[in-house]
Structure 1
């Protein structure tokens, strides 16, 4: 008669040396996976992708827990019961893996009919499992069950089809003209999913036909690759549309890994030190999480303000275009009336009416120019202005604009002087758009004429140190230190500028700034103070 106390437990004897490894390779991934899945599910506000991801994590965690029990339990009946359900669970998490990959690729849910197909694919494995046919026997000497051959073959077919489909998902972007960043995202997420599922399936198959189940145990150490890829997707690719969680997850993961050391240490002193380290880490984590919470709240507040600002900018943009187009239409109609009075369209007019019509026509032209200026600035801000960049002689642009504006200046009793050497050998080549650079120079010269009551305006052009610098100096009203702060800003103008120039809008110098910066140059102003004139400078890169 055999004494039960001396009976050898083969489940213990055959797995005793591997139980520490089994615990470490199963329990820690389960904890980290469930934490990640739960965080994602909550923080992503229960969206579709987070639901699929959590379902995949839960089912896979169930498989890990069941497999861990098989490796570490001494109870034959418990091992037999759990062994009989693992194949079905494996089929389910492979199908969920396919669902996960499909939702990632489509960026939307699959149809009801496809969901029914996926569910039907699990039914054969479910039926065989609940009818207790998934395991046909148990080998007590080695503590292993005999799987149902049909169920094993069915599982391999399902896994093979799913892996082929995921591989197709990976390859499709390379046949499309997609940006590399998008291809990289697909390759990272789908590639890691394919790698994990294929390695897992292959080792499962080899373990079942060779009886060397340790192979499957060690393959689980590839699980971190999959987790790292998912973490990257969550926190870097932002596929779940939230932030900050990365630090939380890393800290929690570190605590779990520290707790995993308890499986290895054997002495009481080492256990106490590990527990103390975990306690300190938890305390520091609480402090860190509180700081992150404040940072997260501030970021959410800033994002809300940005959304409100964007909305206001769009409203302002619509208002600007509506008003300017309406005003421009009115100016244009009035312009034709004044022009008609001058050219005799409405019959002969006396000199007094001719004089008033000419003044009206000039005023309408100025109004239309102002409207165009506001529209140009709005388009520059949106980035819709296209600059036709080519190598040009900056001097020619300045000379043509100078000649046009000289007549206007002399009518106001001002002197216009150019210190630029007018020689064919002197070429000031820059890379720029002729139209817009001319517009900028025109605004600067026009600005000098309007704010100079008497004296002269001098322009110059210098070449040196790889730069070409244009300057325009006047003997006008000058600029106060306070007014310097608002120069070159949208709507920015001097405190008393309207008293001198009633048409001042503050958009002229701002448009100059936008144009010059689009040409990778810079513009600035200098003045010694009120009544001492001012100087404006434009600096562009020279083209050799």
Structure 2
């Protein structure tokens, strides 16, 4: 079939040749890296092959056809060598980079040998046969052609192997792996289409119209390496759709049979181009926005990882510092206590008063160190629990006894109401829950100036299962409603708490919440407002196994 005296094979060849010339120009003009230049070179040799093949389709005799076949094979011979050169630049393998220059010299030396043999002998192109009722094909193959075809296939397969191997090595390089996936997708299309040209040489009557597939594969890779992010399949799809529709419109314009039909086809082509350009620009804008978000997300992820490392280092430092401080503070408290008791002889009231202040400060530092160690254990995930059957009622009573004397000194009474009766033993970590009870009672005593602290123990049925509930009510500074939600957060302290006790860190209730929740329970606080006291509750399930 002929259109304007050009066969369909000729149209396929010249379309591919012109497309590859444009692609090569874009690579040379827009490209800034060596891979851009090498893809431009590769596109140029493909354009040479297709341009010469177009001349073959126009040849009127075997000799002219054979001449143009030899020119076409200049491009065909260079294709696997320039492709492997491009791949060496593309993968950026450090080991191969040291040998790259030698490899390239050897490659092009072999290519020059085949080019020389192609242009000066008939070992690659010999006879031509009129095929498909339209062109002279280089068939049957000359004596050296099978060896060249084997080398062509070997170099191409090796190039794909290098890319695949690097893909498996760079498992953490998401950008490179994304590029490689599209690399295989695009070049598989191009090479499948191009390889069909060799079938007719060996007597398989496959028409070489599949050359058009080369445009798709090569254009995708070209666009990809120019865009750095390789490309987005949605952009390429929009471009290919526009290209196909525009090509169809151009074809209709060329074969127009009348002026009226030509005008209609011009308008159709113009509308197609306008809509296509708008579609491409819209998709590109959306993709670029997504790419910017991905870059931002990646940067935030890296920053988050750095923060996690710093947080881990901080927790480690706090843990080490806390353990180092605990021992000398214990010694200080011990000797001060012994001195005040007269173990080293009688002391006057002034000295005893001074030692009392030292002891108070040491106690405050011990509490601070304990809080820091609790925080360190929570954040590093090193809290270990020893769940054994224990008497929660006895634990509560002992904690109350511990605070009876300090409360009495402040003029406070601690009342204990046991609504649970004889509470059966159940599983809990006795040391951790003692710390929890100490935190709650200590806060109640600390923030109450007068009145009483009421501790109540009872059994509730939450979710149909028995739970032990401990509540601690004080008559202290109270809590604003807006502050209740943040009470159990790390370093959270209300304004009233900071005024009443500037030494606190806001870690105690954070620790309480973590321990209670790890027991499968819950903790909360209630208050009618500032200056009206507060009540803290905890519930833990009474499990026996």
Q: Does 1:143 align with 2:130?
A: no
Q: Which residue of 2 aligns with 1:214?
A: 207
CA contact (8 A) 2:479 2:534 kept: yes
Counterpart Cα distance in 1 of 2:272 and 2:540: 61
Summarize the alignment of residues 179-328 of structure 1 with structure 2, pairs less than 5 Å apart: 188=181, 199=192, 203=196, 206-210=199-203, 212=205, 214=207, 217-218=209-210, 221=213, 251-262=238-249, 265=252, 268=262, 269-270=264-265, 272-283=267-278, 286=281
CA contact (8 A) 2:24 2:41 kept: no
Compared CA separation, residues 311 and 335, structure 1 to 2 (3 A): same
The CA deviation at 1:20 is: 5.8
Compared CA separation, residues 84 and 154, structure 1 to 2 (3 A): closer
Compared CA separation, residues 318 and 202, structure 1 to 2 (3 A): same
Which of 402, 405, 415 is the matching residue for 1:408?
Answer: 402
Which of 437, 445, 451 is the matching residue for 2:447?
Answer: 451
Deviations along 1:377-430, whole A, 9 cap, x unmatched? 36655xx3245589x57x949657635532233231322445556554x8578x
Compared CA separation, residues 340 and 427, structure 1 to 2 (3 A): closer
Compared CA separation, residues 139 and 205, structure 1 to 2 (3 A): closer
Summarize the alignment of residues 385-464 of structure 1 with structure 2, pairs less than 5 Å apart: 385-386=381-382, 392=387, 396=390, 402-411=396-405, 412=407, 413-420=413-420, 422-424=422-424, 443-453=439-449, 454-459=452-457, 462-464=460-462
Q: Does 1:489 align with 2:478?
A: no
Compared CA separation, residues 523 and 92, structure 1 to 2 (3 A): farther
Q: Which residue of 1 aligns with 2:88?
A: 99
Q: Which residue of 2 aligns with 1:506?
A: 506
Counterpart Cα distance in 1 of 2:267 and 2:332: 96
Q: Which residue of 2 aligns with 1:58?
A: 40
TM value normalised by structure 2: 0.67
TM value normalised by structure 1: 0.67
**SS of corresponding position for 1:414:** strand
Compared CA separation, residues 64 and 338, structure 1 to 2 (3 A): same
Compared CA separation, residues 516 and 12, structure 1 to 2 (3 A): farther
Counterpart Cα distance in 2 of 1:88 and 1:24: 21
Summarize the alignment of residues 44-83 of structure 1 with structure 2, pairs less than 5 Å apart: 51-52=34-35, 54=36, 57-70=39-52, 72-73=54-55, 74-76=57-59, 79-80=68-69, 82-83=71-72
CA contact (8 A) 1:255 1:278 kept: yes
Gapped runs of 5+ residues in structure 1?
1-8
Compared CA separation, residues 283 and 127, structure 1 to 2 (3 A): same
Counterpart Cα distance in 2 of 1:189 and 1:227: 12
Counterpart Cα distance in 1 of 2:226 and 2:432: 45
Compared CA separation, residues 244 and 458, structure 1 to 2 (3 A): farther
Deviations along 1:330-375, whole A, 9 cap, x unmatched? 5643432332344579961447667865774564354244235345
Counterpart Cα distance in 2 of 1:404 and 1:524: 23
**SS of corresponding position for 1:110:** helix
Q: Which residue of 1 aligns with 2:534?
A: 534
CA contact (8 A) 2:326 2:369 kept: no
CA contact (8 A) 1:317 1:378 kept: no
The CA deviation at 1:495 is: 0.7
Compared CA separation, residues 228 and 114, structure 1 to 2 (3 A): closer
CA contact (8 A) 2:51 2:72 kept: no
Summarize the alignment of residues 354-393 of structure 1 with structure 2, pairs less than 5 Å apart: 360-361=358-359, 363-374=361-372, 376-377=374-375, 380-381=378-379, 384-386=380-382, 392=387
Compared CA separation, residues 455 and 438, structure 1 to 2 (3 A): closer
The CA deviation at 1:280 is: 3.5
Q: Which residue of 2 aligns with 1:472?
A: 471
CA contact (8 A) 1:88 1:126 kept: no
Q: Between Structure 1 and Structure 2, whose CA radius of gyration is higher?
A: 2
Compared CA separation, residues 330 and 422, structure 1 to 2 (3 A): same
Counterpart Cα distance in 2 of 1:428 and 1:327: 30
Deviations along 1:160-197, whole A, 9 cap, x unmatched? 366368559868999x9x99x99x97995787589668
Counterpart Cα distance in 1 of 2:48 and 2:186: 22
Deviations along 1:174-221, whole A, 9 cap, x unmatched? 9x9x99x99x97995787589668857865654442354536x53875
Compared CA separation, residues 159 and 498, structure 1 to 2 (3 A): same
The CA deviation at 1:292 is: 6.9
Q: Does 1:90 align with 2:79?
A: yes
The CA deviation at 1:139 is: 2.6
Counterpart Cα distance in 2 of 1:313 and 1:220: 53
**SS of corresponding position for 1:210:** coil
Counterpart Cα distance in 2 of 1:435 and 1:149: 90
Counterpart Cα distance in 2 of 1:487 and 1:75: 87
Q: Which residue of 2 aligns with 1:116?
A: 102
Counterpart Cα distance in 2 of 1:540 and 1:195: 64
Deviations along 1:476-535, whole A, 9 cap, x unmatched? 432103423543334321111123223211233344456677789865443321233334
**SS of corresponding position for 2:509:** helix
CA RMSD of aligned residues (A): 5.7
The CA deviation at 1:130 is: 5.2
